[in-house]
């Protein structure tokens, strides 16, 4: 057994490997909720394999939701910085004295923040509906073995996963850029946010493939 080593981002997931050679596992010790191995080696499927896919779909829901959560943190940092950071004496106070203008008062700068803020609201509100739809799907599966919502849920999730993870990834990078050199400071927090959002466009379905 071994560990594959550290990764860039998604550090909460510890990936490793195990190699077995001439190892026999008693059938009574095999996880056989959905698949069962007979004494003669025959494999029998129990239940509907779509149940396993429904579990993977929930992981995809969580990944898609995480993109909005991480973007929210980045937008908050960038917005706060834009309020307190001033640049260029091209404004005047009430007494007419020249003062530096806040970054947020520059149209091009505020537009970058507001665009991602708008994306954030759409992502958060949409994911609330997705969680409700997923709960409806699971209730139908558990109570009636009704899988009718699985196909539309898969289609919706595939598209949202691709779109929201892309918006989250690109949005976090933009928010870091909006903080200038301060965005590279470790205390700014963008390092952890970027390492968290970067894997989302790949894991649980590559965003390019999901977008097809």
Catalytic machinery residues:
204
| 3 state DSSP class of 91 | strand
Alpha carbon of 52 to those of 62, 148, 206: distances in Å? 16, 15, 20
Spell out the residues 6+ positions from residue 126 whose beta carbon is closer than 8 angstroms to its own: 160, 164
Which stretches within 85-189 are classed as H helix? 107-144, 150-178
d(CA 153, CA 136): 10
CB 68 within 8 A of CB 124: yes
Instruction: Give the HSE-up count for residue 25: Cα atoms under 13 Å, Cβ half-sphere.
Output: 11
Question: What separation in angstroms does the CA of 106 have from each of 75, 82, 99, 120, 180?
Answer: 16, 9, 14, 21, 14
Q: Which residues pair with 92 in a beta bridge?
A: 98
Alpha-carbon distance of 27 to 205, in angstroms, equals 33
């Amino acid at each position: 057994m071994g560990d594959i080593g550290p990764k860039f981002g998604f550090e909460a997931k510890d990936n490793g490997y195990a190699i077995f050679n001439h190892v026999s596992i008693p059938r009574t010790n095999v996880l056989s909720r959905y698949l069962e191995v007979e004494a003669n080696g025959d494999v029998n499927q129990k239940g509907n394999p779509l149940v396993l896919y429904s579990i993977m779909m929930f992981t995809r829901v969580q990944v898609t939701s995480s993109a909005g959560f991480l973007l929210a943190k980045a937008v908050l940092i960038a917005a706060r910085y834009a309020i307190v950071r001033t640049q260029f004496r091209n404004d005047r106070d009430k007494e007419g004295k020249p003062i530096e203008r806040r970054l947020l008062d520059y149209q091009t700068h505020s537009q970058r923040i507001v665009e991602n803020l708008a994306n954030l609201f759409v992502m958060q509100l949409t994911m609330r509906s997705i969680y409700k739809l997923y709960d409806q799907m699971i209730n139908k599966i558990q109570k009636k073995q009704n899988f009718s919502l699985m196909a539309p849920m898969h289609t919706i999730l595939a598209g949202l996963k691709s779109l929201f993870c892309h918006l989250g990834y690109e949005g976090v990078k933009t928010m870091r850029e909006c903080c200038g050199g301060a965005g590279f400071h470790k205390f700014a927090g963008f390092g952890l946010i970027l390492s968290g959002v970067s894997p989302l466009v790949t894991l649980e379905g590559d965003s390019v493939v999901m977008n097809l």
